[in-house]
Structure 1
Amino acid sequence: MNETKNNIGNYSATRRKKAKTTAPTTHGICRMDEVGKRQFGNKERQAEIGSGIGTSHAFLNTCFMPKLKEDKIFSWEDKLHITKIERGFYKSLSLLTKHYGISPLSTHDFNYPYNISLCLWDIQKQLKSKVQNCENMRLIEKEDEIFFVAEERYNTGATLYYIPVIPLYQMLRNKNRKKTGLLLLSVCTYLYKIADIPYYRQEDSYLYWIYEMLTEWLEQDEEVDDNHISKKELQKAEIIGDIMEQKIACKENLLFFEERLKKFKPKDNFDKECFLLAEKTFKLYGEYAEASVFRNTYYNNVVRPEEADNDEYYNEEKVITMDKYISFFAESDGLIYDNLMDCVNNEFNEYGEAQEPMIFKTFDGSNVTDENLDFESRLFGILNELCRLLN
């Protein structure tokens, strides 16, 4: 990423695991790991090089059994143990396929260990293509038991979900957009009060700390006077931010949500998009009246702390926590915005992973949870659309 010309002060952070790339400072939805691909040379396809002799390709057209990767689970030679492995495997497989509604490949005609290897390959392929948010599937051996564990994880796409409030403030003051603004205000109230989206004027929020750091840098810079544009932008962010938090925190916006939807008459495409977004949000609110965006998140993405290395788990935060990349903020324009994005990028560049909603399901004969990531999938879609409309 090219450095912003108008930087304020210097930023440093404790070094952590490097992320692949940096979030560009662009308007709207910001990508944390987007990178352009360059192509070199002639765009025309190169001429295919083939043999001048009409030889047979029988070898290349032959399908071979997959080469089995050596693993502790499949290394036992004792026939009794093999029978036990197969019995536990197919029992757990039956539970998994029933839960997800998929049909496994018939592998009973293959000998061990190829029957299990082929089945694993087939199940992983089906889960990836047919089951939303199914990130990973593992075969676990524990206390002489063999069973599947499936990981469902919502991929946030390495995106910064920063919702600007100054554009909404301006809509509410515009008589031609006030009704549209009130509709989006109800959406924001749901996100703030029910979904627990952080607000940048709250002292315990991540972006509050970033804005405070920018304020300190400006105060320490002798060349920046009170009339400098950066100071004016910060004052604007503070004053309007406090006003909008009071409006967004008002629970009456939820009480009037349905009424505002019924009375709203779109005047143009923008109004239609806002109306559709509000409809989706109201429906989600009705189905998940108390669900928080953080309900399926775990420290360092470790679902079972007892299975993690204690030093690794407790001593260092290794992932970008969700409250850092989801938040209300002032606006996506100006010098303060550019410097804020630089600060965020500098810190996020020290991490290798982001905290994301995740669920683990164990198919060992115990009751399998019916939980899913439907709420998260729909909520992040709403956040994405709201950020786009307000930018």
Structure 2
Amino acid sequence: MNATKNNIGKNTTTRRAKTAKVTQTIRRVSGMDEAAKRCIGSPKRPTPIGSDKTASNGFLKTTFLPKFKENDFQKSISKEDNLIKIQRKKSKTERDFYKSLSQLAGHYGLNPIPTENFDFPYNIALSVWNIKKQLKESNENWDNIQLIQNENRTYFISEERCKTGTSLFYIPLIPLYRMLKNKAKKKSAQLLLSVCSYLYRNANIPYYRQENSYLYWNYEMLTDWISEDEEIDENHSSKKELQQAEIIGDFMEQKIFHKNNVEVFGKRLETFKAKNNFDKECFQLSKKVFQLYNDYPEESIFRNAHFNNIQTEENTDDDFYNEEKVVTMDKYISFFADDKGLIYQNLIDSVNNDFNEYSELQEPMITKVFDGSDIPKNNLDFENRLFGILIQLSTLLGD
């Protein structure tokens, strides 16, 4: 679709070039630099140890280990140090390294290749290469590991991230409002009402009619553009859509805010009888959400969100005063009015244009330190399940 076709009126307000309209239910953010989106970790896969191709030349059948490049371990040993100091430092580094490696491998259920017989520091480089490869293959949330030398200690830090892609997790509520008014769909609508109530009250999904929400500002901006355009009369469809977004939005917020919808969630599931495929889909999704509610009754979607994707303990005083440099989660996760019409098309264009100013998304992430201390039991199970639910819910309400 022509990107300029969705413009409202002929407003002369200067706007950035629009991205192409997104048609999928969970909307992809256009224009985001995929390669630069995450600063942590390398997008490159490790080079395989050997070649599986046959050749008459025996040389080509030789197994080659990864090429070692000079790293911080080698550089940290000054050429001016005497042999005794070098040996002590090497032994301490190796001892700490293998202790940390053992703790990390035990936590993630990995089997590191034996590297003790290789010379230092190649043994460490080879172990790091192997453990990264295993983590990438076995842990969907693994993002990066770092080998830290701090205060004469050497240890691993792992970073896990719930990767959301470049999608807008926007949940339309006007379709749910219409379902509640439809006698044939009312029972299914009540199930989804409990789902939305849990997401709003317990999981803290933002709501577009709240003045401190990102989408509230976007809807207000669209309202201003329309009101300033003299060629748009009171009967223009865009004005009607905005009025609906406001009136129905306020009404539905009161509905999903009511705690009774969460309290009777289980009873609604027990008494529900599906009559068609749509009812079955609503029921299956609602069961997932009810189980998530029982497993995580008070967990927020923002529980593992960090300012500029930096863990609190890593923040410096300068970081605290710096402006946000990433697209925060409250900007791409939200309830909103509808996924149809002129207002929707212009809203998505506006959001995409705004996001194009950034190169990274804020995503749920956790850090674990393997220095011999107790490892926290936190994980990203809640976030993994919740994002899947948001995709399904958006699809159901968008049909």
Pairing partner for 1:339 from 335, 338, 346: 346
Q: Does 1:25 align with 2:22?
A: yes
Distance 2:55 2:372 in 1: 55
Contact 2:160 2:367 in 1 (8 A): yes
Residue type of the alignment partner of 1:107: T
Contact 2:172 2:335 in 1 (8 A): yes
Q: Does 1:59 align with 2:67?
A: no
101 and 256 in structure 1: CA distance in 2 versus 1, 3 angstrom threshold: same
Alignment of 1:134-149 (within 5 A): 134-149=142-157
Aligned partner of 2:100 in structure 1 is 92
Say how many residue pairs are matched: 365
Distance 2:292 2:162 in 1: 17
1:109 to partner: Cα distance: 1.9
Aligned partner of 1:50 in structure 2 is none
Residue type of the alignment partner of 2:128: L
Residue type of the alignment partner of 1:370: K
Aligned partner of 1:189 in structure 2 is 197
Alignment of 1:7-86 (within 5 A): 7-8=7-8, 9=11, 10=13, 12=15, 24-33=21-30, 56-75=56-75, 76=77, 78-86=86-94
Distance 2:209 2:60 in 1: 64
Distance 2:226 2:311 in 1: 42
TM-score for the superposition, normalised by structure 1: 0.89
Contact 2:338 2:344 in 1 (8 A): yes
Contact 1:164 1:332 in 2 (8 A): yes
Aligned partner of 2:355 in structure 1 is 348
Aligned partner of 2:47 in structure 1 is none
Residue type of the alignment partner of 1:126: Q
SS in 2 for 1:60: helix
Contact 1:22 1:349 in 2 (8 A): no
Q: Does 1:203 align with 2:207?
A: no
1:65 to partner: Cα distance: 2.5
210 and 55 in structure 1: CA distance in 2 versus 1, 3 angstrom threshold: closer
Distance 1:26 1:198 in 2: 23
Query: Percent of aligned positions with the same letter in both sequences?
Result: 57
Aligned partner of 1:293 in structure 2 is 301
55 and 206 in structure 1: CA distance in 2 versus 1, 3 angstrom threshold: closer
Aligned partner of 1:41 in structure 2 is none
1:61 to partner: Cα distance: 2.7
Aligned partner of 1:330 in structure 2 is 337
1:304 to partner: Cα distance: 3.8
SS in 2 for 1:91: helix
Q: Does 1:363 align with 2:360?
A: no
Residue type of the alignment partner of 2:61: N
Residue deviations 1:235-270 (CA, integer Å, cap 9, x gap): 111111111111111110011100000011111111
Aligned partner of 1:5 in structure 2 is 5
1:98 to partner: Cα distance: 1.1
Q: Does 1:129 align with 2:149?
A: no
Residue deviations 1:152-178 (CA, integer Å, cap 9, x gap): 100011110000001101111111000
1:60 to partner: Cα distance: 2.8
Distance 2:55 2:145 in 1: 42
1:59 to partner: Cα distance: 2.8
347 and 11 in structure 1: CA distance in 2 versus 1, 3 angstrom threshold: farther
Contact 1:192 1:198 in 2 (8 A): yes
Distance 2:31 2:200 in 1: 28
Contact 1:133 1:152 in 2 (8 A): yes
Could you tell which deviates more after superposition, 72-81 or 83-92? 72-81
Aligned partner of 1:157 in structure 2 is 165
Contact 2:269 2:283 in 1 (8 A): yes
Residue type of the alignment partner of 1:170: R
Contact 1:180 1:271 in 2 (8 A): yes
SS in 2 for 1:390: helix
1:69 to partner: Cα distance: 2.0
Distance 2:155 2:132 in 1: 14
Contact 2:31 2:356 in 1 (8 A): no
Aligned partner of 1:317 in structure 2 is 324
Contact 1:193 1:249 in 2 (8 A): yes
1:27 to partner: Cα distance: 4.5
Contact 1:24 1:30 in 2 (8 A): no
Aligned partner of 1:38 in structure 2 is none
CA root-mean-square deviation: 2.0
Q: Does 1:255 align with 2:263?
A: yes
Could you tell which deviates more after superposition, 241-250 or 1-10? 1-10
Contact 1:300 1:313 in 2 (8 A): no
Contact 2:3 2:20 in 1 (8 A): no
